[in-house]
Every structure is written in C-alpha cells, then in structure tokens.
Amino acid sequence: MRNVLIVGIGAGNPEHMTVQAINALNKAGVLFIPTKGDAKVQLADIRRDIVSRYVSNPNSRVVEFAVPVRQVADRSYQRSVDDWHAAIASAYERLLIEELDESQTGAFLVWGDPMLYDSTIRIIERVRALATVAFDYSVIPGITSIQALAASHRIPLNLVGKSVEITTGRLLSQSFPQKSETAVVMLDGEQAFMKIDDPEAQIYWGAYLGTEQEIIISGRLADVKDEILQTRTAVRAQHGWIMDIYLLQKGVDFEE
C-alpha cells in the first residue's frame, strides 16, 4: 500500500527541521513541493533548500505541483474554503495515482506544523474518502510560527497560571480582552488588532518569521499599531505576499 508522510518543516528557517522530519523525508521516494505562483516563489524555494540540505536518499525525486487558488467571489467563507479543499484533494488524488507506485512512500512538506491552522490532514482524509487510491499516512510535527514568534521576541507565550487562546483575525473581537488575557492571532487578513481599543493591551507582532526577511515589532498596542500596519503594507507590496502572526496580552505576569 502507498504511504503518505505529512511533514512539518517549520516556520521558514531550514534549521527548524527536526531529526524526525529529516528522517521522514529520507524515507520517501517522492517529495511533493507545492508551488503558489511567482508571488510566493520563496515558499517553494525554502522547501527546495530543505530537500537539498537534508535529503540524501539517492532514490528520491521531487515532484512540484500547482496549488489551486481559493475563489472567494459570491461565496461564503465556509463555502469558498470547502470548494478550495475539494480542488486541492483532487490534485492530491492525481499525484498519488500518477506519481506514487503502490509500494512507495510520498512526503508532503507542510509549512509550520500540520496540526495547527493547516488543512493538509483534512484534505488527505478527503482523498481517502474518495476511495480511488489506497494509502495510509503519518503526521510528523514541526516548529510552529507561534513558537518562532515567542522565541524572536524572547517572551513566554503565557502569563503565569493563565490560559492562551489561538484564534483568527475574524474572531478576535469575540475573545480579546473580554474572554482571554492572551490571544495568539493567525490568518488575520483584516488587521483586526486595529479595532482593539484597550490601553493596557500589549502586542508582539512578527512577519516572515524564520526567514531572512523576518520583522518583529512589539509594545503597547495603542503606540505601535499604526507602525505595524504601515510596515505590513510596505513589506507585502515589496515581496508580493506576507505571513504574519501576533500575540496580544493584557495583564501582569508574576513569579510563582
């Protein structure tokens, strides 16, 4: 039976690779690298660099494939994501049938950690449900952008004895600061932090974490949010894409 490895490769620094992840890539006969157009060529280049650095299996080969683009016009968010995942599942199905022999192992190199705000596992399950190709799969964890953010800012993620909420920009207003004293915000295309009006809120923001282009800004939200917005706009225009994440906190840390 075919075997699929879903391998977390970290937040952008090739040195985020774990020994487990490197060993997994070397077990694979086929390494699948997604491409997302010219604007995001760096994302594919980092994957290529990882393969070049760490894969020593002489029998492995790289297969690059174009990722379908999500269509958002005249659709709800849930519907557009579901249709998008269905299109990617079709692409994965074709890859497994056409590129992977029945006894081979293939590996998908997944940004960050496959278990956190990534849909590769869901999509692989959709392919299994189609029942057109038999395979089993395993998941190898990776360094997350949350870990990279906290490390770059040299901060603990949580306040002592307090919980941490991981959410999206679309849902931020429902949680911080009225429900959560610490919120990690991912997938924020709306810059929801601009709508938070709390004089005690602190923000730790980062973009392109782990890469040579990494930028971090921190401080009292009211003091630095305009700087973050301007910086984000400028670097997105410069690079053609952006991956950013931030941590919002309200409250006093103390030692137990």
- Is the pLDDT at 183 greater than 80? The verdict is yes
Predicted pLDDT at 6:
98
Model confidence at 124, pLDDT cuts 50, 70, 90, reads very high
- The per-residue pLDDT of the chain, averaged, comes to 93
- Is the pLDDT at 72 greater than 80? The verdict is no
Predicted pLDDT at 70:
79
Q: Is the whole model's pTM more than 0.75, yes or no?
A: yes
- Is the pLDDT at 101 greater than 80? The verdict is yes
- Is the pLDDT at 75 greater than 80? The verdict is no
Q: How far apart are CA 137 and CA 123, in angstroms?
A: 12
Model confidence at 74, pLDDT cuts 50, 70, 90, reads low
CB 203 within 8 A of CB 3: no
Nearest to 127 by CA among 81, 105, 95: 95
Phi then psi for 23, rounded to 5 degrees?
Answer: -65, -35
Q: Tens digits of per-residue pLDDT, 232-243?
A: 999 999 998 999
The residue with tokens 């070397």 is 26
Predicted pLDDT at 77:
79
Predicted pLDDT at 186:
94
- Is the pLDDT at 184 greater than 90? The verdict is yes
Helix (H) or strand (E) holding 89: helix 77-99
